[in-house]
Structure 1
Amino acid sequence: MSLSEYEKQRLENIERNNELLRQLDIPRLKLDRKRSASPSPSTIKKHVPKKQFKEKQAPTRVSARLRGIAAENAPDHTDAMGETDVKKKEEAKRVDTLEDTKQKEFMQLLDDIRRYPNLKPDEDIKPVKKEDQDTQERLQQEIQKLKVKHTWATVKVTPDRINGCLFHPSSAKILACAADVSGSLGFWDVNNFKKDEEDEDEEPVVFTYRPHTRGITNMLFDPTNSDKLYTSSYDGTLRYFDMKSASFGLVDFDGERIPFTNFDITQDGHNVWYSTLEGQVGFRDLRIKDGPAKLDLHQLRDKKVGCVHLNPVNQNLMAVASNDRTMTVWDIRSLSEQLHEFSHGYSVTSAYWSPRGDKLVTASYDDYIRLFDYNDSKNEMKLQTAIRHNNHTGRWVTNFRARWHEGAKDHQLFLVGNMKHPVDIFSGETGGDIGELYDGERITAIQAVAQFHPATENMMVVTGNGSGRMVCYS
């Protein structure tokens, strides 16, 4: 083929290709493809926390070998208390304060909360003698109206899996709290947001500390002082967060570290009852600042006690949930013998008294939620109903705990997580299914932990999942 013929054929090929491009309208297709890459219009955003810049740290220790010191002359890194370098390093991981700007922001938020009274109901909750169908239907309608209204699909509050959540008791300023398996404690100002300085996008208001070096097992506000939040941990400490100073304190146990699994505080705020991995239940008077002369421990079960809860009406009654497959009820004035014992098929993960003190609900690995009826005047307890419920959470999902609505007045309610992602709500009077909370566009993980707000006029629920994210239904 001559050069001229080659050039002629090449031009024909170019013209043919150009004709094909015109027929396919490639420029228009490219424009459409560019548009499809942008997100569709939606008010739902994904909350991705900004990475915090950390200065690179220099090595803190050089081995004796590299320093040319013989093994027999190497220094002993164990101090007088018997703490090794490893333990000291673990203690250093605690984060009890935030950087100055965030600490000031959080202090301002806590000041705002204290401006409003703690709206805990003062009137007695009257018992319901007969099931009121109109009340149940009203509750079903109220639950159906609960929606996730915040901008973000979910909000990242803690670094790791959440194993406990609750609301601050104030109904005027909605503050959700979360505790995770790494020892972190997070606070989320639910109805507020801030502008990101870089891209001016809206960001949720979240503050996260790490007061413990291992998983937090429970957290409770002082019943008489909502400025104080207590937390227990597998690291062997019971600490409290003072909202007036945004600082942490330690409850002393004669210098001992106790493997706390759970705890409860008496209504007067004076005493704390706690449980351990070894099946023990202990007592501590919080009014003694320097700690007791010796630990007040009682061996109630042979295996781990994962939950203790005091009856809110009769404070002498304590429910105990154990890995030995039992739920037991004790009189704290005499712990020599239990008052009631109920066997379950597998480990009992929780046992909580209702706000009126006449019901008790348990969750167990045998895939049942059990509702018990209690008559205080006769000291009689009987199983009212057993609700079939998949409680096999496995290793990576926090154990389900059936929790009561502490602010319910006319009809007691409790909720529990669901392996299919919704949160189930049941009647505490009959055990009947009342409704569920779920948002298919936002919820992609199991809402393992959930709590009602104890003081808002309208029902409100906060949930937490295995990736440290929370959702609020209101």
Structure 2
Amino acid sequence: MAEDNSYEQERQRIIAENAALLAQLGLDHFASTSAPVSRSRASSSATFGEGSSTAGGGKRKSSRATAATGGATSKRSKLSNGAGDGHASPGGGVSTRRSTRLMGLKPESDEAVAHLAEQAERAKKELEILRHAERRVRKEVMTLEELVAEEEWNGDNERTGDELNSLLASVASTHTARPISSLAYSDPDAYATPAHLTAADTALRQTYRSSTFLRTARVTSERAYSLTIHPDPTRILVFSGDKRGIVGVWDANARDESQNDDEPGEHVDGVKRELDEVEGDASAGIVQDWTRGSGKVWRMQVHQRSAISCLRVDPTRGDTVSITDVLDDSATKLFTSAYDCSMRTLSLANGVSTAIYALPDPDALINHFDISPSGNEIWAVDSLGGLSHVDMREDNSKEWVRRRWIISGQRTNTKIGGVGINPMNPSLICTASNDRTMRIWDTRHLQSIRSHPFLPAQILSKSTEDVATEEKPAEDDKAHLYSTGHSPSLYPTVESAWDDDIYPAMQTKKHAGLLRTESDHEKSCSAAYWDPAGRRVLTTCYDDRIRVYDAKPSLFKTDAPLQDAFNPELKIGNMKKRVTVYSGLTGSLIADLSHPSLTAVPAVTATHPNIAGVVVGANASGKCHLWGPAPLLD
């Protein structure tokens, strides 16, 4: 019953947020001031209203009233089950559903079919309104205080923008670069002999031998889509992006002296201990940390309400800055991308979030990006087969040249899910595609391939009311696509098409080396990464296996496609409810990290760049689990 009640509360929360968004857009006539009946999935007669008891006899806290209404109305207004036909529901709201029997309509009659079709069309339009209401465009420049203030969770848990600003500024005060390999790219393969492989595996296993579970926190309220750890060697600062455009910031080192270990059900630093989620002994839900509590968490509405697809910390400084300060040597940078078709930077130094790139087509979701080792270039991929390039060395006083190439191998705008830059040879990038292929490209060829001015005029900007009242055109009618609403100043300036520009160029001797090699997968290839030495490529795939390729430098000396098949050296599968560490050289098991409170497969993982053995895994509930070396317990 507790699970059912949690489900109902979450459903009501989502309904309330949608209603609040409608009100802000002046569309509150679609919302009802009467709250619908809350009903448990397990019992049609059990309701959980304000002050009502749960099956276990406990009570739920009532929602707090807003100051603006003097407490007369709930802070979260309720949305009715529908709108428009004027028939009251049992809970006092308005329902779009009516019994055909009570209306005198015969089942399967023309009138009944027409009525059901009308209901379905009305519901579709209302959902379209909600979709656009939830995806409000972020301002091009926003302060951190604005981002934090928009997430009600912070206020409920006494998390302020000032406090987060102070934390991030302290981190930004010391530049911490991402570590790079000590090997020169021209050196022979350091792992060519069995002795070298054994020594490397032994060192890696020794690193993780002392790793133990440290703590857990619900960093976001929704599923985690992306995760990264700041490289500061003196702390563990985690950034987690969720499905609603929220970036959660977890200061895992923070000590909360108010923590009472005897009260695991209370809110501590915004983290609620939910013992009903823990398998086995309920006492396992009480996290035993190396300090007290579970650190501190803040949540920022960085993007529109759409998934944060990628997070990257500046590889040269380890902090973030507004793009307008990029020419300043003291400037520092953190980057984010989302399914709202945009990329942004968030300054740790001054708390400013700035939009730097966007695509006007709402179907062109930015799935992933990578930053060159110099921190000057960004390569991003999208769901319409596009590869975009932003060079931050170009003159800031003028409009940037933002380039986009359609590199979909099947000429069908196939989604590209991942991109990685070789840290030792940045001209080589690997991409992962939904056409079940990983490819390695030499980007030196792209700049000289014919391009055309990007013309976003074909994308029409539709208001919410237009979307609700006009018939949506066919998906393939590119002349009537709805714009994402971002400023045209963020759009690509030039673009090259696959059929007209990329593919013909690849058939010439001059650009034959553009596509160096490719490798087929059994299902969609979802991500591709280079190792720090630029000698291995790792891919993930929807067949639940990772693949590791030997991409030694000698293969790419000649500016031409590889003649031999490029097949993986290792294939490893694992869908366990734990974080498993394998050797990228031999595939051997290095560490198996688990905890009773980790009851779902971690959707994303991250390791600390400068503290060996520190690993974070995040799952669909938004929880992050942290492991690290035992000395951290001291």
In 2, the alpha carbon distance for the partners of 1:214 and 1:291 equals 28
How do 1:13-412 and structure 2 match up within 5 A?
55=66, 56=74, 87=132, 90-91=135-136, 96-98=147-149, 102-118=160-176, 120-121=178-179, 124-125=182-183, 127-130=190-193, 131-150=196-215, 154-196=216-258, 202=293, 204-212=295-303, 213-228=305-320, 229-253=334-358, 258-288=364-394, 289=396, 291-292=399-400, 295-301=403-409, 302=412, 303-335=414-446, 336=506, 337-379=514-556, 382-389=566-573
Shift, 1:287, TM fit: 4.1
CA distance in 1 between counterparts of 2:341 and 2:302 reads 12
Post-superposition CA distance 1:348-369 (Å, at most 9, x none): 0111111100111112123432
Q: Which moved more, 1:165-174 or 1:288-297?
A: 288-297
Report how far residue 89 of structure 1 moved. Answer: 5.7
Deviations 1:238-267 (A, max 9, x none): 111111122311114487765201111112
SS in 2 for 1:372: strand
Structure 1 partner of 2:582: 426
Give the alignment's Cα RMSD to 1 decimal: 3.5
1:196 positional shift: 4.7
Cα distance in 1 for partners of 2:62, 2:164 equals: 19
Q: Contact 2:519/2:566 (CA < 8 Å) preserved in 1?
A: no
Report the more deviating stretch, 100-109 or 339-348.
100-109
Sort the Cα spacing of 1:54 and 1:241 in 2 relative to 1 into closer, same or farther, 3 A: farther
* Contact 1:179/1:186 (<8 A) preserved: yes
With 332-341 and 377-386 compared, the bigger mean Cα shift is at 377-386
Residues 550 and 569, structure 2, Cα contact 8 Å, conserved in 1 = no
The answer to whether the 8 Å contact 1:221/1:230 transfers is yes
Bigger proportion of residues as strand? 1
Question: How far apart, in 2, do the equivalents of 1:93 and 1:318 lie?
Answer: 30
Distance 1:299 1:382, change over 3 A: closer
**Structure whose alpha-carbon radius of gyration is higher:** 1
Report deviation, 1:297.
2.7
The verdict on how the C-alpha distance between 1:174 and 1:236 changes in structure 2, with shifts beyond 3 A counting, is same
Partners in 2 of 1:255 and 1:366 — Cα distance? 32
Q: What is the aligned partner in structure 1 of residue 34 from structure 2? A: none
Query: 1:449 Cα shift?
Result: 1.1
Partners of 1:155 and 1:52 in 2: CA distance: 23
Distance 1:121 1:259, change over 3 A: closer
3-state SS of the aligned residue for 2:226?
strand
Q: Deviations over 1:45-103 (max 9, x none)?
A: xxxxx9995724698xxx9999xxxxxxxxxxxxxxxxx99746631799623369611
For 1:468 and 1:52, how far apart are their aligned partners in 2?
Answer: 23
In the alignment, the residues of structure 2 paired with residue 185 and residue 362 of structure 1 have an alpha-carbon distance, to the nearest angstrom, of 25
**2:341 and 2:360 in contact (8 A); partners too:** no
Amino acid at match of 2:208: I
- 1:205-256 CA distances to partner (integer Å, 9 max, x unpaired)? 0011111121011111122332221111111111111111223111144877
Q: State how far apart, in whole Å, the 1-side matches of 2:401 and 2:181 are.
A: 39
Residues 326 and 134 of structure 1, relative CA distance in 2, 3 Å threshold = closer
Task: Give, as a single letter, the amino acid of the residue that structure 1 aligns with 2:148.
Answer: T
- Secondary structure at the aligned position of 1:149 is classed as strand
Taking structure 2 as the reference length, what is the TM-score of the superposition? 0.54
Between structures 1 and 2, the one with greater helix share:
2
Change (3 A) 1:465 1:330: same
- Classify 1:467/1:282 alpha carbon distance in 2 versus 1 (closer, same or farther; 3 Å): same
Identity %: 26
Partner of 2:510: none
The answer as to whether partners of 1:218 and 1:262 remain within 8 angstroms in 2 is yes
CA distance in 1, matches of 2:62, 2:210: 36
Summarize deviations over 1:390-410 as a string: whole Å, max 9, x none: xxxxxxxxxxxxxxxxxxxxx
Structure 1: distance between partners of 2:63 and 2:445: 52
Aligned-partner Cα distance in 2 for 1:386–1:203: 37
Partner Cα distance (1:183, 1:317) in 2 = 31
Rounded to whole Å, the distance in 1 between the matches of 2:592 and 2:133 is 46
Aligned residue identity for 1:166? T
For each residue in 1:174-222, what CA deviation from the matched residue of structure 2 results, as whole angstroms up to 9, or x when unmatched? 1011011111101111111324599896453001111112101111112
2:220–2:240 CA contact under 8 A, matched in 1:
yes
Runs of 5+ consecutive residues of structure 1 not aligned to the other structure: 1-36, 38-49, 67-83, 390-417
Partner of 2:604: 449
Partner SS, residue 108 of structure 1: helix
Q: Distance in 2 between matches of 1:113 and 1:52?
A: 36
Measure the CA separation in 1 of the matches of 2:613 and 2:534: 21
The alpha-carbon deviation at position 284 of structure 1 amounts to 1.7
Shift of 1:134: 4.5
Deviations 1:21-52 (A, max 9, x none): xxxxxxxxxxxxxxxx9xxxxxxxxxxxx999
Checking the alignment, whether the CA contact within 8 Å between 2:548 and 2:569 is kept in structure 1 is yes
Matched residue SS, 2:176: coil
Number of residue pairs matched by the alignment = 376
- Quote the offset at 1:448 in angstroms: 2.1
